[in-house]
Structure 1
Amino acid sequence: MNNGRRFLAMLLVLISLTAYGVEMNNLGDYQWKNRVILVQAASETEGAVDSLRDAHAELDDRDIIWFVNTGSGLVSNQARVSDGVANDVNELLAKVRSDERVLLIGKDGGIKSRESSLNLDAIFRRTDAMPMRVREMRTD
């Protein structure tokens, strides 16, 4: 391998490591990259973590990141959740009404739905109707 190709190969490795190793430091870092589901633990949301884990393919297809405040900690489909993200999630969930246990946040950062329980089919329907998602489905 000549020096030019070796350099290019190393550059590509560094770029891919940087892209996958970027740590999200606050909830706003997901804006324009991901949709976000936030769930506050309650009897109405019991089983949310298992439901979300079981739906990983559908969630990945829609670029959805999720966080569940279990009451004893934060669970997510992210490998690591920074303290800043955890604080933002917990602060946002603390500000919503007690009957709003599930929030769907769009890629634009706006809250798209507030529900009392986790209904993934309804979230998927709502997500798939969003203009940005419609464009994504056309290009896939």
Structure 2
Amino acid sequence: MNNLSDYQWKNRLILVQAASDTEGVVETLRSARAEIDDRDIVWFVNTRSDVVSNQEVLSSSLESDVKALLEKSRSDERVLLIGKDGGIKSRESSLDLDAIFGRIDGMPMRIREMRNSD
């Protein structure tokens, strides 16, 4: 994957502009791996020095896409949720995975996914 658009129709994305508590944010995301995998989520945390993700390898153009999108957001919008359609579904000031999972689970595409997996 070389750009954020490469994930469209395959994954939901969580982009986080980390502040001082970068390790805590990354640990929170890593500890929710089962729920994240179940919802086809790929996450990126911009630590200012680099971008951390649940993807094995990040291309420099993908890192640039993540940083550029987060830089365009207002300072109080540190967490972005992007749907499989590529649209921004929420902008939050902090990472609240329960709220994000709830928002995703209410999306029509996710409802179909859950119905089809039973």
| Alpha-carbon distance, 1:71 to partner | 1.6
User: Among 105, 124, 138, which residue is 2:101 paired with?
Assistant: 124
In structure 2, how many angstroms separate the alpha carbons of the residues matched to 1:82 and 1:55? Answer: 24
Gaps of 5+ in 2: none
User: What is the 5 A alignment of 1:48-87?
Assistant: 48-87=25-64
Structure with the largest fraction of helix: 1
TM-score under structure 2 length normalisation:
0.96
In structure 1, how many angstroms separate the alpha carbons of the residues matched to 2:72 and 2:23? Answer: 21
Q: Which residue of 2 aligns with 1:134?
A: 111
Alignment of 1:97 onto 2:74: yes
Question: Aligned-residue CA RMSD in angstroms?
Answer: 1.2
Gaps of 5+ in 1: 1-23
Q: Which residue of 1 aligns with 2:14?
A: 37
Q: Which moved more, 1:41-50 or 1:24-33?
A: 41-50
Q: Alpha carbons of 1:45 and 1:97: their partners in 2 closer, same or farther (altered >3 Å)?
A: farther
Identity over aligned pairs, percent: 73
1:72-127 residue CA offsets vs partner (Å, 9 max, x unmatched): 21000000011111110000000000000000000000000000000000000000
TM-score under structure 1 length normalisation:
0.81
Displacement over 3 Å in runs of 4+? 43-46
SS in structure 2 at match of 1:51: helix
- When Rg is computed on C-alpha atoms for both structures, the one with the higher figure is 1
How many pairs does the alignment contain? 117
In structure 2, how many angstroms separate the alpha carbons of the residues matched to 1:78 and 1:46? Answer: 17
